[in-house]
Amino acid sequence: MFELIPAIDVLDGNVVRLQRGDYEAVTVYGTDPVGTARSFLDSGAPIVHVVDLEGARSGSADARLRQALGAAGVRFQTGGGLRTAADVAAAIADGAERAVVGTTALWDSDELARMVDAAGPAALVVAVDVAGGRARGAGWLDEGRPLDEVLDELVGVGVERILVTSIQRDGMMQGPDLELLESSVGSGLAVIASGGVGDLHDLGEIAAAGAAGVIVGRAIYERRFTVSEAVAAVS
């Protein structure tokens, strides 16, 4: 089943969105991440995507956020600051259904294999952030690695699900990168798309390209459409 997954990015306790991952380009949309998550689930979303932005920047995730979500019965996947297999195991123990990992996973295949073991393949999502055909890490500032090389490596260590973000389209609402999406789907991995969604038509194109789901953030917060409308559009 195709998943419509609303994004909740959290910084300083607020629900925010960044443009192209820039911490200097922050828009605050709310002050209650748990309440926002519950409202999205009540509107029909099967799960929410929660990112600890401070954890992503510092490398140390905030367990209190995860625990608050878990205690509230929220179905969520979470990323930001999960760098080791122990971090992944802790996120799952705190109530996350999936742990989302990025930079370390792309540059340390041994640790990635340990993460797969710690969470189980179904509960691990590897975030692959792409620009110019290369998977980037380190705050998107490095030269990265060829995307096809990275995808082959992920398959080789038992990863089943990836989150593919088009860096240039992230937070811009100018449409998805369908070429990137189709090439990623061709790897045989279950692909969650992220970046560029601006209207309901974009959601249909992403589903038609073979993705397993889509992360939607700014378009919901800017009222381009509601979560209920989005869920109906991809059902």
Q: Which residues are catalytic?
A: 9, 129
First-to-final CA distance of the chain: 8
- DSSP-derived secondary structure letter, 46: S
Any idea how long the chain is? 235
Q: Which residues lie closer than 8 Å to 39 by C-beta, 6 or more apart?
A: none
Q: Is residue 131 within 8 Å of 168, Cβ to Cβ?
A: yes
At 148, is the secondary structure helix, strand, or coil? helix
* Cα-Cα-Cα-Cα dihedral sign, residues 134, 137, 141, 145: negative
